[in-house]
Amino acid sequence: AQSVAQPEDQVNVAEGNPLTVKCTYSVSGNPYLFWYVQYPNRGLQFLLKYITGDNLVKGSYGFEAEFNKSQTSFHLKKPSALVSDSALYFCAVRAQRGGSYIPTFGRGTSLIVHP
Amino acid sequence: NAGVTQTPKFQVLKTGQSMTLQCAQDMNHNSMYWYRQDPGMGLRLIYYSASEGTTDKGEVPNGYNVSRLNKREFSLRLESAAPSQTSVYFCASSETRDRVYGYTFGSGTRLTVV
């Protein structure tokens, strides 16, 4: 079965410190991977994606993600966290379902950045 | 701004009532999706429409129906609302299955069934 897992319900980090939000995936074929962010009472906003190419992908708001095929991981990172980064983060994989390709989301990780 | 528009933003229903959640996109996307978001459950796919004229069930379709009215609009209907359908509902769209530029989400409909 094709799936994505976010092992941490919550990540706490101090402002200015580096942050990592973890994601692992299971999919047949080449993975198409995404990170989305959700601020309170808002829809999901696209951060970045990996389709092919460089394993380090840069996205919006200073975020980046590292694709690791051997570990089937796609962790989200930022060198220096901001309080305004506090939000809910979702990892997603494009998975085949019948004849279509459907985004499948993890359960989400709540990132809390402390001043 | 271009994007996905959902209406209404908030709704309270009594058990057994029916309603339709509306979704429209103006990006000329072919594929559209309905998700529900519940605490600790992430986003679960209810129904999707890979292209105009087609609809398919997702993970949690029971109690819902959908209509792809045209390329722009994809509605979700609750025929007889139940408290278990209290949730936040998101509509999303994407260009095509073979051209992955990401998925665009609406701002959500917060539904409470009492």
Distance between CA atoms of residues B49 and B30, nearest Å? 8
Q: Which residues pair with B71 in a beta bridge?
A: none
How far is residue B108's CA from residue B18's CA, in Å, rounded to a whole number? 18
The per-residue pLDDT for B75 is 97
CB-based contact, B89 to chain A, within 8 Å:
no
Q: Provide the mean pLDDT of chain B.
A: 91
Q: Is B27 on the interface with A (CB under 8 A)?
A: no
Give the B window 50-69 contacts with A, CB below 8 Å.
Answer: 50, 56, 58
Side chain identity, residue B114: V
Q: Is the pLDDT of residue B26 over 60?
A: yes
CB contact under 8 A, A103 and B103: yes
| Cβ–Cβ gap A107/B42 under 8 Å | yes
Nearest to B28 by CA among B2, B53, B9: B2
Contacts of B45 in chain A (CB under 8 A): 102, 104
Tell me what pLDDT residue A99 has.
65
Contact flag A90-B43 (C-beta cutoff 8 Å) = yes
Q: What are phi and psi of A103, to 5 degrees?
A: -75, 130
Q: Are strands B10-13 and B109-113 parallel, antiparallel or unpaired?
A: parallel
**B62 Cβ partners below 8 Å, 6+ apart?**
none
- Given a cut of 60, is residue B97 above it in pLDDT? no
**Closest residue in chain B to residue A101, using alpha carbons only:** B97
**Residue A17 — very low, low, confident or very high, per pLDDT cuts 50/70/90?**
very high
The pLDDT of residue B100: 59
Burial of B16 (0-12, 13-18, 19+ CB in 10 A): exposed
Res. B99: pLDDT tops 60: no
How distant is the Cα of A14 from the closest Cα of chain B, in angstroms?
A: 24
Nearest CA in chain B to A42: B107
Is A43 within 8 Å of B97 when comparing Cβ atoms? no
d(CA B92, CA A38): 14
pLDDT in tens, B57-94: 999 999 999 999 899 999 999 999 999 999 999 999 98
Residue A103 has pLDDT above 90, yes or no: no
B80 vs A13: CA distance, rounded Å: 44
pLDDT > 70: what percent of chain A? 95
Please list every residue in chain A whose beta carbon sits closer than 8 Å to the beta carbon of residue B94. Answer: 103
Is 90 exceeded by the pLDDT of residue A102? no
Contacts of B104 in chain A (CB under 8 A): 46
pLDDT band at A31 (very low <50, low <70, confident <90, very high): confident
Beta strands B31-38 and B87-94 are antiparallel
Q: Are strands B104-105 and B42-49 parallel, antiparallel or unpaired?
A: unpaired
At residue B30's C-alpha, the angle toward residues B9 and B67, to 5°, is: 55
Query: Among A51-55, A61-65, A98-102, which stretch is predicted with the lowest mean pLDDT?
Result: A98-102
Compute the mean pLDDT over every residue in chain A, rounded to the nearest whole number: 91
Neighbours of A39 (CB within 10 A): 12
Out of A65-79, A97-111, B62-76, B83-97, pick the least confident.
A97-111
